[in-house]
Amino acid sequence: MDRMLYVAMSGAKETMIAQANNSNNLANANAPGFLADLQQFRSMPVFGDGFPTRAYGLSERPGTDFTHGDQVQTGRDLDVAIAGNGWFAVQARDGGEAYSRRGDLNLDVNGLLTTGNGLPVIGNGGPIAIPPAEKLDIAPDGTISIVPLGQSSVGIAVIDRIKMVNPAIDQMVKGKDGLLRMRDGNPAEADGSMRLNSGAFEGSNVNIVNAMVDMIELSRRYEMQVKMMQTAKAMDESSTRIMRVG
């Protein structure tokens, strides 16, 4: 009974981990530029004294779904979306360079250009700072130009250019903060051939219908594992009663 109970218990535990991953995807279904985490189960033999006659379920994240989300048209000057493959360079919370496709940009109180979740966008020389301006424009190649405050439209000034990169996907890894980084830890080289679409941002690539179906499937799988544990308990109690006869 203890072996049956262990297998059922491990299955229930790994199902809970998979459900947490799926719930995180669902929670970010409306987050711009979010990339869904993939999930899979594997059967793993239990090694110990003797031959591995038992197996338990293992939940793991084999990787990230790199498909592009739909572009949401807003007409807003600060909303930009990458046309095709590639990433914006942003400054992560730890101060290092990371990459994202989130293009709902804003200006904070200090004039820094940030993503919708407050991460500074990196340009040619680091985080991009925008002085007070009458108008701001982001060109398809990422060049940021402004009409300075109090100036006419003929006094356009070029401020910086958004750093965009396009390394191979197998060279990148997604961190716990949802940002992509290079596997070797070095910053990626800027790609000057990349282009932006203005007045739109890329939405999440989470398929809500599939995620809901997975949530129901995982819930039923968890219930099945719990039922197996209850069955093991009932069988153990029956065996105890039989041993007490006589």
Q: Are strands 164-165 and 87-91 parallel, antiparallel or unpaired?
A: antiparallel
Q: Can you give the residue ranges of every domain in the chain?
A: 2-65+206-244, 71-202
**pTM for the full model?**
0.80
Q: Kindly give the residue spans of alpha helices, DSSP state H, lying in the chain.
A: 2-27, 208-244
**What tokens appear for 238 in the block?**
């029956």
End-to-end Cα distance, the chain: 23
Cα gap 82→56, rounded to integer Å: 43
- β-partners of residue 83 are none
pLDDT in tens, the chain (246 residues): 567 777 788 888 888 888 989 999 999 999 999 999 888 777 777 777 777 777 777 777 778 889 999 999 998 989 999 998 999 999 999 999 999 999 999 999 888 999 999 999 999 889 999 988 888 899 999 999 988 887 776 778 889 999 999 999 989 999 888 899 999 889 999 998 999 999 999 999 999 999 999 999 999 988 998 888 888 888 877 777 777 765
Residue 9 burial by Cβ neighbours in a 10 Å radius (0-12, 13-18, 19+): middle
Amino acid sitting at position 211: A
